[in-house]
Amino acid sequence: MPWKTLDDMDLAGKTVLVRVDINVPMEGGRVTDMTRIDKIRPTVDDILAKGGKPVLLAHFDRPKGRVVPEMSLGHVVTALEGSLGRKVVFGSDCVGEAAAAAIAKAGPGEVVLLENTRFHPGEEKNDPELAAQMAKLGQVFVNDAFSAAHRAHASTEGLARLLPSAAGRLMAAELKALEAALGSPERPVVAVVGGAKVSTKIELLANLVTKVDHLVIGGGMANTFLVAEGIEVGQSLAEREMAEMAREIRHRAQKSGCQIHLPVDVVVAREFKAGADSQVVSVLKCPPDAMILDAGPETVKQLEGVFAGARTLIWNGPLGAFEIEPFDAATKAAAQAAARLTREGKLVSVAGGGDTVAALNAAGVAADFTFISTAGGAFLEWMEGKELPGVKALMG
């Protein structure tokens, strides 16, 4: 890999500025999902083991360059201490005297958390002066926030230019998994892309058809591709104005030898609600007063065959309206098939995106995938083939 990791750095006696993503959901002053906090522990533990003092830099919510008390990182200190099993010293600013005092106060084995970087307007503007003030606080920079790597901010890109830098354990694992999925994968490669709208994933689809052997399109996006082929989809969600773009993506796929897979049967209903009366019909026979809300069992059976013949799977987005039963069936069944092949050592499976993670958790198979990315925008931009500023900066 063209970037350094913690294994390449001498951290003994050094203050290590660590960019993390602990932008976690909260309710009533309590953290409701610890996933992002729990995932930074390996990096923190390794820095301490190598004799360094970890100083965490992070954003929280969108204060837009103002101090907003409800968006203070002070609210996550208790959850952070519980996860890390260590005392966390909180600094009321991420630069200046308050930050320096918190760092000085932390003893051996303790961790420092500095205040929300986005309280400063210079953070999102990647202000060199703000980055320089942050850099004064430490001797080494470690970026462990892949989920923020698509942003050129002072604490993600600017700092990496000013201090000896490395990828943290989570960042390194993410980059390694994505390289295995799209950079130099074992073939054949299958990509599953679902979701509501083609318009939000044009760049993704255009890039994937030049990189993968099979592209499975699900969710509302599939309806748009069906419309582009002259197939009636009744009252289904579909972007009819995107039909020409769908045909262009199919043309690109044919030129590059990528096979596109659309549903062959679908689950339709007249209402979009839990437990609504539904039926399975051929994709060619959607009733004019019904909506397509999931892929059907024959489609799932075909996908299982595609997965069985593949070596690498990359997944972003559900195959249907997975939030509501019974329209979660195709996503669950396909995910379970991928998980089984992964457990058997026949498939490298990488998934990412909020809906995808939720769907895999609902299917009970998240732990079986080779790697699940907690990054949203950064994961998508990587799949789109874009350069991520926070990653590029680590390469020097």
User: Cα(291)–Cα(207) distance, rounded to whole angstroms?
Assistant: 29
CA 184 to chain centre: 20
Taking alpha carbons only, the member of 147, 60, 73, 67 closest to residue 114 is 73
As to burial, measured by CB atoms within 10 angstroms (0-12 exposed, 13-18 middle, 19+ buried), residue 396 is exposed
Is residue 374 a contact partner of residue 39, using CB atoms and an 8 Å limit? Answer: yes
Is residue 171 a contact partner of residue 46, using CB atoms and an 8 Å limit? Answer: no
Neighbours of 339 (CB within 10 A): 20
> Per-residue DSSP letters for 168-193?
-HHHHHHHHHHIIIIIS--SSEEEEE
Q: Clarify whether 197 is annotated catalytic.
A: yes
Q: Clarify whether 354 is annotated catalytic.
A: yes
Q: Clarify whether 36 is annotated catalytic.
A: yes
Cβ contacts of 257 within 8 Å, gap of 6 or more: 213
Catalytic residue among 4, 125, 197, 343: 197
Is residue 57 a contact partner of residue 115, using CB atoms and an 8 Å limit? Answer: no
Residue 96 host element (H or E): helix 96-105
Residue 357 host element (H or E): helix 354-362
Catalytic residue among 51, 109, 309, 354: 354
Is residue 147 a contact partner of residue 116, using CB atoms and an 8 Å limit? Answer: no
Catalytic residue among 65, 96, 234, 377: 377
Q: At what angle do helices 41-49 and 77-84 cross, to 10 degrees?
A: 60
Dihedral sign (CA 213, 217, 221, 222): positive
Q: Clarify whether 66 is annotated catalytic.
A: no
Half-sphere exposure of 97 (CA within 13 A, CB side): 0
3-class SS at 15? Answer: strand
SS (H, E, C) 193-226: ECCCCCCCCHHHHHHHCCCCCEEEECHHHHHHHH
C-alpha angle 191-371-25 in degrees, rounded to nearest 5? 105
Is residue 320 a contact partner of residue 334, using CB atoms and an 8 Å limit? Answer: no
Q: Which residues are catalytic?
A: 36, 197, 354, 377
